[in-house]
């Protein structure tokens, strides 16, 4: 039996309607920006496997550190024990996070990082003797698939069957030049009529919402109002973190800093799953008490897994290498040049860029999960490029190590699509 046939026997894939979805494509190897299929074909990974493998797949530097760590210490309970990789990672993260961040809490993935952030915010108020039970979030945001994170997310296809079980979330639209006044009004009115505990947001770019972007200065106005009302601000940097917006974190572009930041994806460079939720000293201090009950009782068995920590440290070292920093600038420039070339094409409705994140909307009506989307997906795959359109949006978020030649292949398949669609 082929891998495809064996896959179909027992596997249930995420985000997949198995009755209509085409079969999954087996990948047998990955290196740098390239995926190698069982079909003997090579595919340029134009989205860094959901923006994780930013330093390239199977990066040799990271591989070396992983091997060393695996032989030294594989796993240890993180309640009552500690270890050098976790300590060192906390130090490295605090160095690059916005400077109001002070404490590092570990979990396993982006959803749990946000779950932790939401629970921290709720318990922060609880510990202070205040009952606040409402979370504010952006419309069409995405924060993950666990219950708290899902409640805060606004993409209905994920949430439909579960809405009756959600925590209380009120939504505001993402801001722009035209609607900013009414967004601030809506925010004020929610604050007046609810006991708001926290505001959770993807800073500057909403990944799952087709790379929707908005301006730092508008977000800043929202964050200021939250601060005035002691609403805990949670920046979901699971997608935007670690250099993608042109700075270490998207929050670095915004004047008002969040109380809590969640990170995952590129944190562990595509090697292993892990997540971090950082917070300020003020949040942490609200959990200090003679009573055990005020402690944060949230744990994952693999919290701060030493191998994952070693990967993350190596990733941060690479992020700050001259090579990667130069690559980031090169990609930013080259996306801008590509944009100049195609932005006025009749099949292009609108384009946008933030750092190495580039997106364009096709000037055609399409369902987010419709047939046309697969046609476009297949157009790219046939030409050896892995891009994953979101509705009529095509976005590029390639590994930082992608070569100019590989980038040009991606650009050319997009131009080719515009000419033939
Ligand atoms: C991917 C993502 C998540 C969820 O992370 P998982 O690791 O898939 O659970 C949350 N927030 C944002 C912004 C993401 O892009």
Torsion, Cα 337 339 343 344, to 10 degrees, reads 10
Counting from 1 in the atom list of ligand 1, the atom nearest the Cα of 240 is 13
Calpha distance 79→102 (Å, rounded) = 19
Render pLDDT for 285-324 as a digit per residue (tens, 0 to 9).
999 999 999 999 999 999 999 999 999 999 999 999 999 9
Please tell me whether 50 is known to bind a ligand.
yes
Q: Whose CA is nearest to atom 11 of ligand 1?
A: 143
Atom of ligand 1 nearest to the CA of 112: 9
Q: Convert the pLDDT of each residue in 231-250 to its tens digit.
A: 999 999 999 999 999 999 99
Ligand 1 center to 290 CA (angstroms): 35
Tell me if 416 sits within 8 A of 51, measured CB to CB.
no
Instruction: Output the CA 144–ligand 1 centroid distance in Å.
Output: 5
Q: Tally Cβ neighbours within 10 Å of residue 160.
A: 8
Ligand 1 proximal residues by C-beta, below 6 Å = 109-111, 114, 142-144, 202, 207-208, 236, 238-239, 264-265
Q: Is 291 annotated as a binding residue?
A: no
For the chain, which ranges sit under pLDDT 50? none
Tell me whether residue 2 is annotated as binding: no
Return d(Cα 368, Cα 121) in angstroms, integer: 33
């Amino acid at each position: 039996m082929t891998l495809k046939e064996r896959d179909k026997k027992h596997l249930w894939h995420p985000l997949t309607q198995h009755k209509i979805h085409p079969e999954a494509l087996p990948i047998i190897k990955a290196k740098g920006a390239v995926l190698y299929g069982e079909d003997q074909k090579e595919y340029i990974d134009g989205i860094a496997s959901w923006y994780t493998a930013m330093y390239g797949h199977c990066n040799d530097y990271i591989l070396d550190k992983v091997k060393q760590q695996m032989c030294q210490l594989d796993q240890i309970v993180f309640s009552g024990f500690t270890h050098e990789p976790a300590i060192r990672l906390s130090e490295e993260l605090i160095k690059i996070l916005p400077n109001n961040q002070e404490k590092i809490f570990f979990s396993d993935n982006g959803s749990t990082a946000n779950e932790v952030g939401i629970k921290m915010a709720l318990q922060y108020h609880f510990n202070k003797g205040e009952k606040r039970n409402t979370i504010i979030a952006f419309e069409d945001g995405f924060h993950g698939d666990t219950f708290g994170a899902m409640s805060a997310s606004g993409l209905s296809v994920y949430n439909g069957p579960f809405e009756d079980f959600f925590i209380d979330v009120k939504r505001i639209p993402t801001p722009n030049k035209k609607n900013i006044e009414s967004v601030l009004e809506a925010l004020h009115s929610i604050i007046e009529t609810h006991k708001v505990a926290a505001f959770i947001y993807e800073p500057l770019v909403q990944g799952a919402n087709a790379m929707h972007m908005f301006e730092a200065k508008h977000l800043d106005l929202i964050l200021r109002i939250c601060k005035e009302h002691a609403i805990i601000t949670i920046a979901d940097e699971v997608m935007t973190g670690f250099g993608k917006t042109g700075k270490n974190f998207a929050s670095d572009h915004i004047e008002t800093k969040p109380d809590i930041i969640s990170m995952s994806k590129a944190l562990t460079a595509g090697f292993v799953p892990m997540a971090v939720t950082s917070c300020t000293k003020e949040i942490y201090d609200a959990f200090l008490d003679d009573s055990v009950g005020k402690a944060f009782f949230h744990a994952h068995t693999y919290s701060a897994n030493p191998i994952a920590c070693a990967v993350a440290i190596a990733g941060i070292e690479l992020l700050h290498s001259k090579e990667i920093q130069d690559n980031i600038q090169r990609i930013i420039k080259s996306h801008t040049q590509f944009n100049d070339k195609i932005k006025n094409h009749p099949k292009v409705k609108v384009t946008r860029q933030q750092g190495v994140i580039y997106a364009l909307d096709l000037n055609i009506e399409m369902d987010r999960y419709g047939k046309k989307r697969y046609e476009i997906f297949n157009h790219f795959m046939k030409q050896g490029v892995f891009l994953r359109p979101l509705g009529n949006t095509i976005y590029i978020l390639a590994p930082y190590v992608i070569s100019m030649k590989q980038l040009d292949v991606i650009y050319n398949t997009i131009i080719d699509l515009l000419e033939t669609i």
